[in-house]
Amino acid sequence: MKTRTLLLVSTLLAACALAARAHSLTVVRSWISYAMQMLTHESLPLPYPAPPEPEAWRGMKAAERLANVQTRLLPKLHEQLAAATQCKLGQPAFIRIFKESRELELWVQRSTGSREWGLLRTYPIACFSGTLGPKTREGDMQAPEGFYDVTARLLNPASNYHLAFNIGYPNAYDLEQKRTGSLIMVHGDMCSVGCFAMTDAVIEEIYLVVEAACKGSGSVPVHVFPFRMTVERMRSAEEAYREFWEELVPVYEVFEKERRVPKVGVEDGKYLVR
């Protein structure tokens, strides 16, 4: 661990030096944030057998990977869902991501059409690149903010990052804002550039719930916020992003107050709660 940490710090210092020479403060801040996340990440204990070693995993085909994960996780996962949420695998699911606190919440609906949602777990995000604020262009190293949907076609069990699913960036809003970039994932491993890395063990549980929900309800909403959008936190929000962040607040508040996942549209280039 010590060797890995020293290597990581050395690499990031070198990258920061290069970015500084390029006069890019944004890139420097992004690399510093990345380093701090890697160094302070705390693992989440889960009640499942550990994933195979990376070399063995890389040699598996997608179907073999899924069979392996299902064999190791499903018996306990059914118990976890019942205990934490009184839900079953395959019910609608919903993800909220908070960049500032590096958290991913996985919610499951107690019955299809119900307004009752149960929180399966709040996972620590191992790493995401960039700082608070939306992704605006390809290569800016930013993780996006906004409202997305995962469908079955966006699942990737053959990922180089253990397992992964694409959140659907850019969405209609991003396209209206002329934002560029693609392939923004929630995935395994502990490294990420523009995506959300969860570690191999954690992504397995998330992936199985998302996969089952996609089969049952067609898609899984993913809401990415810079922080928990309380009145108090918004008072100290950076002016550069305040106007955009104010568009996210109504969506955040609907779920906080009503435990309802709102339909989100785009009208006149702005997010609109329907």
The answer on 60 and 17 residing in a single domain is no
pLDDT at 31 over 90: no
The answer on 219 and 132 residing in a single domain is yes
The answer on 114 and 231 residing in a single domain is yes
The answer to whether residue 187 is catalytic is yes
pLDDT per residue over 145-169, tens digit each? 999 999 999 999 999 999 999 999 9
The answer on 149 and 116 residing in a single domain is yes
The answer on 188 and 162 residing in a single domain is yes
In this structure, are residues 229 and 102 in contact, taking their beta carbons and an 8 Å threshold? no
Q: How far apart are CA 182 and CA 171, in angstroms?
A: 10
Question: 16, 195, 214, 223: which one is catalytic?
Answer: 195
Mean pLDDT of the chain, nearest integer: 88
**How many domains is the chain partitioned into structurally?**
2
- What is the CATH classification number for the domain harbouring 250? 2.40.440.10
Question: 16, 87, 162, 187: which one is catalytic?
Answer: 187
The answer on 137 and 7 residing in a single domain is no
Identify the pLDDT of residue 254: 97
pLDDT at 39 over 60: no
The answer on 52 and 25 residing in a single domain is no
Q: Residue 192: pLDDT band by 50, 70, 90 thresholds? A: confident
DSSP β-bridge partners for residue 156: 164
Name the pTM for this structure: 0.87
The answer on 51 and 33 residing in a single domain is no
The answer on 225 and 154 residing in a single domain is yes
The answer to whether residue 195 is catalytic is yes
pLDDT at 223 over 50: yes
2 lies in which domain range? 1-40
pLDDT at 183 over 80: yes
Backbone angle region of 23, left / alpha / beta, with phi > 0 → left and psi within -120 to 50 → alpha: left
